[in-house]
Amino acid sequence: MDVQDSIWGYFFISPWILGFLAFTAFPIVFSLYISFCNWKVGDAPQFIGLQNYFTIFGQAEDRRLLFISLWNTFYYTILSVPLGMIGSVVIALLMNQEWKSVKVLRTIFYLPSVIAGVAAAAIWMLLFNPEFGLLNYALSLLHIPGPFWLGDPKWTKPALILMSLWGVGGNMVIYLAGLQGIPRQLYEAAEMDGASAWQKFWNVTIPMLTPVIFFNLIMNIVWSFQIFTQVYVISGASANDIGRPANSTLVLVAYIYKKAFADNMMGYGSALAWILFIIVLVVTLLQFTFSRKWVYYEGELRK
């Protein structure tokens, strides 16, 4: 490739390069800078060094709210991610069968994952309504008293976890692609050795599916740490009320939003955002480290 071809290549991708620099690279660098500043929108940033970070970890009330938001975020991640992955794998296995209506069923399971987050949260608010919600009505048929769900601090996080299962169809499609990429010869060889259905699943399907499982695990954990829309909607779409009741839904991104936009503390909010980035980075690096012991690539189990 000569110089002229390179110039034309960069010319054609220049819209993407400009967009990346303006809407991704610059905001990242700017947020890092203002995390060391005291900045309110409308005023000039004042450089204060590490004071925002000292305040976050040094002031008792700030530290308390940070730990509450971290606890809520980890609670949501630890429960929603495994449940979502197990549910999507089970559905993918069912949708991998040769049924006449399987294509229609795949579409039905996938559709919820493309519905806008605000609309999905609004639908779930109706389902969780303690007076006329479908969930409490179903429980009443079983003579079980329904909880107050979004109004009870003990039930708000379980409600958010149930809401997260709404989008398992997105992961189902990825698992389905992985299942259909497993060579049929491996199952035939296992059958010749007398393997049962469970043994074929555990010794053939799961090892061959581990790269897909690993990919979904990484993405789902990153997404779960960034949960915001559902919390914002159930809080009444109000920055001041976000996290209610009793801070039981105050996840870390919601806390960042509250500090940055409700309290107009952009530097403080940016510092919180970089704390979130470091946490996600560490968790992701740990996953890559441990993946060497269980992710199966190209015919051999990485050790």
The CATH number of the domain holding residue 143 is 1.10.3720.10
Handedness of CA 272, 274, 279, 283 (dihedral sign): positive
pLDDT digits (tens, 9 = 90+) for 12-61: 999 999 999 999 999 999 999 999 999 998 889 999 999 999 999 999 99
Query: What residue type is 62 in one-letter code?
Result: D
The range of the structural domain enclosing residue 244 comes to 51-301
Sign of the dihedral defined by the CA atoms of residues 149, 150, 155, 156, in that order = positive
Query: What are phi and psi for residue 190, nearest 5 degrees?
Result: -65, -40
Asked, for residue 132, whether it belongs to a domain, the answer is yes
pLDDT score of 281 = 96
Tokens of 29: 């660098």
The 10s digit of each residue's pLDDT in 71-82 is 999 999 999 999
List the end-to-end C-alpha distance of the chain, in Å, as a whole number: 40
Q: What is the pLDDT of residue 97?
A: 86
Give the pLDDT of residue 301: 44
In a domain, residue 286? The reply is: yes
The proportion of the chain whose per-residue pLDDT surpasses 90, expressed as a percent, equals 61
Q: Residue 143 corresponds to which tokens in the numbers above?
A: 């003579």
Q: pLDDT value at position 298?
A: 60
Pairing of strands 46-47, 37-38: antiparallel
Q: In the structure encoding, which two tokens stand for residue 38, read together? A: 């005291």
Is position 211 within any domain?
yes
Q: Which helix (H) or strand (E) holds 297?
A: strand 296-297
Long-range contacts formed by 128-137: CB under 8 A, 24+ apart? 128/159
**Within a domain: residue 6?**
no
Residue 145 lies in a domain: yes
Is 19 a member of any domain?
no
CB 274 within 8 A of CB 268: no
State the pairing for strand pair 296-297/300-301: antiparallel
Q: Which pLDDT value is given to residue 16?
A: 93
Q: Tell whether 60 is covered by a domain.
A: yes
Query: Which tokens belong to 26?
Result: 């610059």
Q: What is the mean predicted confidence (pLDDT) over 145-149? A: 89
Residue 303 has pLDDT above 70, yes or no: no
Q: Which of 20, 38, 27, 68 is nearest to 243 (CA)?
A: 68
pLDDT band at 299 (very low <50, low <70, confident <90, very high): low
Q: What is the pLDDT of residue 276?
A: 96
> pTM (2 decimals)?
0.89
Overall average pLDDT of the 206-222 stretch: 94
Quick one: CA torsion of 163, 135, 108, 98, rounded to 10 degrees? 110
**Is 14 inside a domain boundary?**
no
Q: Decide if pLDDT at 166 tops 80.
A: yes
Domains held by the chain: number: 1
